[in-house]
Amino acid sequence: MKTKTFLILEDGHIFSGIGIGSPREVISEIVFNTSMTGYPEILTDPSYAGQAVCMTYPLIGNYGICYEDRQSNQVWPDALIAREFSRTFSNFRSQDSIQNYLKSYDIPAIEGIDTRALAKVLREHGTMNGMVTTNSNYDLSQIIPKLKKHKNQYPVRKVTCSKKQIFEGTGFKVALMDFGAKKNIVDSLRQLGCEVTIYPAFTKAEEIFSDKPDGIILSNGPGDPREYTDIVREVRKIYDFDIPVFAICLGHQLMALAAGLRVRKMKYGHRGANHPVRNQDTGRVSITSQNHGYVVDSASMDERIAVPSYINVNDNSIEGLKYVDRNIVTVQFHPEASPGPQDTRNLFNRFIEMMGGHVYA
Enumerate the known binding-site residues for L-glutamine: 47, 221, 223, 250, 253, 291, 293-294
Look up 336 and say whether it is catalytic: yes
Distances (CA, A) of 283 to 279, 295, 310, 329, 354: 5, 21, 9, 18, 22
The binding site consists of 47, 221, 223, 250, 253, 291, 293-294
CA atoms within 13 Å, Cβ hemisphere of 291: 35
Judge whether 176 and 185 are in contact, CB under 8 Å.
yes
Look up 249 and say whether it is catalytic: yes
Give me the numbers of helices (H) and strands (E) for the chain, helices first please. Answer: 10, 19
Q: Kindly report the number of other CB atoms within 10 A of residue 325's CB atom.
A: 7
Compute the distance between CA of residue 317 and CA of residue 310 in angstroms, rounded to an integer. Answer: 9
Active site residue: 249, 252, 270, 292, which one? 249
Helix, strand, coil percentages in the chain from 3-state DSSP, rounded to 5? 25, 30, 40
Helix (H) / strand (E) element for 145: namely helix 140-149
One-character DSSP codes across 201-262: TT--HHHHHHT--SEEEE----S-GGG-HHHHHHHHHHHHSSS-EEEETHHHHHHHHHTT--
Compute the distance between CA of residue 135 and CA of residue 141 in angstroms, rounded to an integer. Answer: 15
One-character DSSP codes across 169-194: -SS-EEEEEESS--HHHHHHHHHTT-
Look up 84 and say whether it is catalytic: no
Active site residue: 111, 195, 319, 336, which one? 336
Cα distance between the two ends of the chain? 55
Q: Catalytic site residues?
A: 249, 334, 336
